[in-house]
Amino acid sequence: MSLFSALNISGSGISAAQTWINTTAGNIANANDTVATTSPVYATQTPFFQAVGQAGQVGDGVAVSSVLLGSTAGLVQYQPNNPLANAQGNVRVANVDLGSQMVHLIAAQTDYQANASALAHAKLAYQSALTIGS
């Protein structure tokens, strides 16, 4: 672990939280997507986080190792006035739970703020250390 590892660790947390915010925002933006029942619909995105560093040692931060996609099957709903509706009046809609997406968005925002605060405090500590002898 280097002297400035707190900056790198907090920076990786900010980057991961930003990815979480972006994927959640995309899910919310596509919550009302509709397609014909024969087509795949929007698949929710969920970032998968992984610790950076070697097992058994102090961590070096976090990284988004992948973004997992949900099902494109969606839900079939009766919307006879929708221009994409089939003969029975059904369309396929994205299976996005807005309540859980809002919870994810709040958690990601809190994570981002915590890492930004840790980064600011580490920067202050390093700046203070530089002034000790002057």
Task: Please name the residue that has the structure tokens 């002898």.
Answer: 133
Mean of pLDDT values over 85-111: 96
More confident residue, 62 or 130: 62
What is the reported pLDDT for 131? 84
Percentage above 90 pLDDT, the chain: 72
pLDDT digits (tens, 9 = 90+) for 99-119: 999 999 999 999 999 999 998
Say if CB 42 and CB 33 are below 8 A apart. yes
What is the reported pLDDT for 54? 75
User: Domain locations in the chain?
Assistant: 5-130
Q: How many CA atoms lie within 13 A of 35 on its CB side?
A: 15
Whether the per-residue pLDDT at 2 is higher than 90: the answer is no
Question: Where on the phi/psi map is residue 41: left (φ > 0), alpha (ψ -120 to 50), or beta?
Answer: beta
